[in-house]
Amino acid sequence: MTAEPVIDTQQGPTAEAPATVRASLSPSRAADFKTCPLLYRFRSIDRLPERPTVEQVRGTLVHAVLERLFDLPAGARTPESAGDLVAPQWDRLVTEQPELATLFAEGDTAAVEGFLRSAAALLEGYFAVEDPRRLEPAEREALISAVVDDELLIRGYLDRLDVAPDGALRVVDYKTGGAPREAFEARALFQLKFYALVLWRTRGVVPRVLRLLYLKDAEVCDYSPDAEELLRFERTVVALWQAIEQATARQDFRPRPSRLCDWCSHQALCPSFGGTPPPFPVAGPADPLTDARSRPAAPGADE
């Protein structure tokens, strides 16, 4: 697809919410609650810190490179140019987030170099499934938002939005992990349906394609939603938020053990692992735009 300008009249991240809005929800936090209500509490209510993993930071770096790649003239978007962006983008990320440097032992240049090579290898997977010289994205790392059910603001950041000459939309999401099994693919599509709902409600167009690019395996997963499906999905999102509100009112967020527990940072506080959650936070003044980390802590953190 080639791109045409897209006018987004939705509010930016610092804009005031409509007077009717009582809460905000992102696809990451919604997925947290679906996966494990206690994980949602730890992240969105307790706001417990999480040390990023090497895999998550690698995802952040690859996303940054792919975003910058499209700043180059079309003919210059080659594998070699992408590889040349890896080290400068890593330097930029470390400058902006010095804590990332602590992922590696001080002076361990071999570990850093190996990390950068692993990021470059994922970029090879990208070029195996797309030719960026033929693309002109309409938007990259763009915040989009919409109000549903008159009270809930849903929003998130798109990796990329392509717009065809006929106005058709394609939402593209980069995944630096391997292509998942069906259950995990459903989680990834949940995120893209979230974006599709926002685009439909704000622009009146149902995206023609929701595309997942799995860079590690060089695989593409395309899905085409329709308006009826997005209407059902909207009801699901509203019902999910209502469940979150009920759990908050009862201060009752229970763990839901699964294989994903292996990657959880909060096992020491989880009853399923013999831990005890901290006291439930005392409620402060309500902020309808506050959905803790409405943008994921790092692109690729959900890989």
Quote helix, strand, coil % in the chain, to nearest 5. Answer: 45, 15, 40
User: What pLDDT score does 182 carry?
Assistant: 58
Q: Is the dihedral of CA 181, 182, 187, 188 positive or negative?
A: positive
CA distance 289 to 87: 35
User: What pLDDT score does 89 carry?
Assistant: 98
Provide CB contacts within 8 A for 26, sequence distance 6+. 154, 155, 156, 194, 291, 293, 294, 295, 296
Amino acid at site 19: A
Tell me the per-residue pLDDT of 87-117, one tens digit each, with 9 for 90 and over: 999 999 999 999 998 999 988 999 999 999 9
Within 176-231, strands assigned E span 209-214, 219-223
CA distance 257 to 262: 10
Q: How many CA atoms lie within 13 A of 116 on its CB side?
A: 19
- How far is residue 141 from each of residues 236, 251, 267, 298, measured CA to CA in Å? 25, 34, 32, 12
Proportion of the chain above pLDDT 90, given as a percent: 78
User: What pLDDT score does 68 carry?
Assistant: 97
User: What pLDDT score does 184 carry?
Assistant: 60
Q: What is the pTM of this model?
A: 0.85
Question: Which tokens sit at 33?
Answer: 């609650």
User: What pLDDT score does 22 carry?
Assistant: 85
User: What pLDDT score does 18 carry?
Assistant: 61
pLDDT, averaged per 10 consecutive residues of the chain (303 residues), comes to 33 50 92 95 94 93 98 98 98 95 91 97 97 97 94 95 96 86 70 96 96 94 96 96 96 94 94 96 58 38 38
